[in-house]
Each structure stands twice: as structure tokens, then as C-alpha cells.
Amino acid sequence: MKIIAELLSLGELKQMAEATFGNLVKAVVDVDREIIAVDAELHSDLEALFLKDGSKQKSLWGINLYPEIQGDDFVEFDSMINMRPSQGNRSRGVEDMELRKKIIGIVAKRIK
């Protein structure tokens, strides 16, 4: 598990995927700090890493990254940590389209 505050190469992401799930890497995005935590078996492990690092839980959103896929399907919005009725998100996805755009922008900024 590691926090990406600078850049992560697509090659490194592919290696992470191959070492774990084969085709995907679990990640959590801190939308306030604009950083990403990657490479864990569970989104909740990455969430815990961020919380220890000073992030606020309300700013953390779980995603899956598919390094072999380009375009819209590179990022999948599916994580149990996203279920937050108190924040108006009642599913494992991210229902707010503006928030989705922000997450995609952070991913594009950190993974090249």
C-alpha cells in the first residue's frame, strides 16, 4: 500500500495489478488533498492508511483502476466504502457526477 502524492506510471500500475487481482488495482482517492492510495486487497485498508495520514473520511472515495483499459472504463466506481447515506450516496458507486469528474481528474493527474 502506498499513497501517491506525485506520479505513478501506468507500468507500475500494471505490475501492481498482475501481483494482486490480475487486471485491476484497488484505489482510494482523497478528493480534498488530491492524492491517491493504491495497492491493497481491500478499499478499507487504503481508507485506514489515509485516515492515519490525516485525511477526512468524508473526502475518501473507493475506485478500481484497470491499467489495460483506456478511456472511460479505466476507472470503475465500485466500493463498499462509498456507501454513505449521510452524504447522499446510497450505493457502492459515486452518484454525484461532479464528484466523479473530480475523481477522474485526480486520477489523470497522478497516473501517467
Q: Where are the domains of the chain?
A: 2-110
Q: What is the pLDDT of residue 39?
A: 96
Q: Are 34 and 4 in contact (CB under 8 A)?
A: no
Q: What is the pLDDT of residue 81?
A: 98
Whether this model's pTM surpasses 0.95: yes
Instruction: Give pLDDT tens digits for 52-105.
Output: 999 999 999 999 999 999 999 999 999 999 999 999 999 999 999 999 999 999
Q: What is the pLDDT of residue 11?
A: 96
HSE-CB of 20 using CA atoms within 13 angstroms: 20
**pLDDT above 90 coverage of the chain, percent:** 99
State the average pLDDT for the chain.
Answer: 97
How far is C-alpha 97 from the chain's CA centre?
16
What angle (nearest 5°) sits at the alpha carbon of residue 87, between those of residues 63 and 105?
40
Q: Are 78 and 94 in contact (CB under 8 A)?
A: no
pLDDT, mean of residues 31-49: 98
Q: What is the pLDDT of residue 51?
A: 98
Could you write out the DSSP letters of every residue in 15-35? HHHHHTTSS-EEEEEETTTTE
